[in-house]
Amino acid sequence: MQILGVDIGGSGIKGAIVDTLTGQLVSERHRIETPQPATPEAVAGVLAQLVLHFNWTGPIGCGFPAAIQHGMVRTAANISKAFIGTNIDKLFSEATNCECHNLNDADAAGIAEMHFGEGAGQVGVVLLITIGTGLGTALFTDGNLLPNTELGHLYLENGLEAERYASDAARKLQDLGWKSWGSRFNIYLSAMEKLFWPDLIILGGGASKKFDKFKEQIAIKTTVKSAAFLNQAGIVGAALYAKSKVV
Ligand code: BGC
């Protein structure tokens, strides 16, 4: 089945048509700048543009950077607070005239990795962490997702919120080298290890591509791998999620 997968981020809204059987993109990826301010209506408008670009009439899956409970946005750490309480399944379906299913962006990336990437066939507990503007998490046990874990907002023993201390945005903002940022990230990983005892941790998002530059700073027992998908995981996972929801 083909589904339009979309990854909604703070700076760009990216989409592509996905073959859900293979996890491959069957179109070019198309990116539109996230409107500023990124109000629900403005984002819905960009989604409608994407749909027009692909001349799309089928189902859509969207990864969105917030906790999404049955289509309802519950949090807004790095997006417009106006989203809180918005039913984006409804808003985006009406704006595009297509059946649109939304989920947390890290959950979407995790679903793609569990199906076709580093998590495929992995039993036990897998934690995927996306390292970008925020720290997104997706937690699986025997391949089943526990949705909306917001573990980037955990407070570390140093009293700081993990996302403010060890995200890629924190690295850029404080102009940290990969080694000093890697030591910070290791503190976060070690907290995750102590709390969840995962069998595997997969790193996704922009910074995961630089894993070589900070992997020497990672000193936890759990196996840590960088994601197999580079920047397509969110798109592919969102499409797989929508497939599971299509009636
Ligand atoms: C949000 C999460 C999201 C993550 C990555 C965090 O700030 O709270 O919902 O998954 O950023 O975008």
Domain holding 193: CATH number? 3.30.420.40
Distance 126 CA to ligand 1 centre (A): 18
Q: What is the mean pLDDT of residues 42-52?
A: 98
Is residue 115 in some structural domain? Answer: no
Which pLDDT score, from 0 to 100, does residue 72 have?
Answer: 98
Domain count, the chain: 2
Q: Looking at the CA of residue 107, tell me the nearest atom of ligand 1.
A: 10
Q: What is the mean pLDDT of residues 34-61?
A: 97
CB 207 within 8 A of CB 131: yes
Is residue 89 in some structural domain? Answer: yes
| Structural domain of 101 | 2-107+232-246
Q: What is the mean pLDDT of residues 137-142?
A: 98
The two tokens of residue 188 are 């976060």
Which stretch of DSSP H or E encloses residue 131?
Answer: strand 125-131
Check pLDDT > 80 for residue 136: yes
Residues 218 and 241 in one domain: no
Q: What is the pTM of this model?
A: 0.97
Q: Is residue 121 classed as helix, strand or coil in its secondary structure?
A: coil
Give yes or no for residue 152 CB within 6 A of ligand 1: yes
Phi-psi bin for 26: left (phi > 0), alpha (psi -120 to 50), beta? alpha
CB 178 within 8 A of CB 199: no
Q: What is the mean pLDDT of residues 150-179?
A: 97
Q: What is the C-alpha to C-alpha distance for residues 28 and 44, in angstroms, rounded to an integer? A: 21
Is residue 114 in some structural domain? Answer: no
At residue 222 the predicted structure's pLDDT band, cuts being 50, 70 and 90, is very high
Q: What is the C-alpha to C-alpha distance for residues 56 and 32, in angstroms, rounded to an integer? A: 16
Is residue 72 in some structural domain? Answer: yes
Average pLDDT, rounded, for the chain: 96
Check pLDDT > 80 for residue 50: yes
Rounded percentage of the chain residues whose pLDDT exceeds 90: 95
Which stretch of DSSP H or E encloses residue 204?
Answer: strand 200-204
At residue 187 the predicted structure's pLDDT band, cuts being 50, 70 and 90, is very high
Distance 51 CA to ligand 1 centre (A): 24
Check pLDDT > 80 for residue 230: no
Give yes or no for residue 65 CB within 6 A of ligand 1: yes
Pocket test for ligand 1, best of 133, 188, 208 (most atoms within 8 A of CB): 133
Is residue 127 in some structural domain? Answer: yes
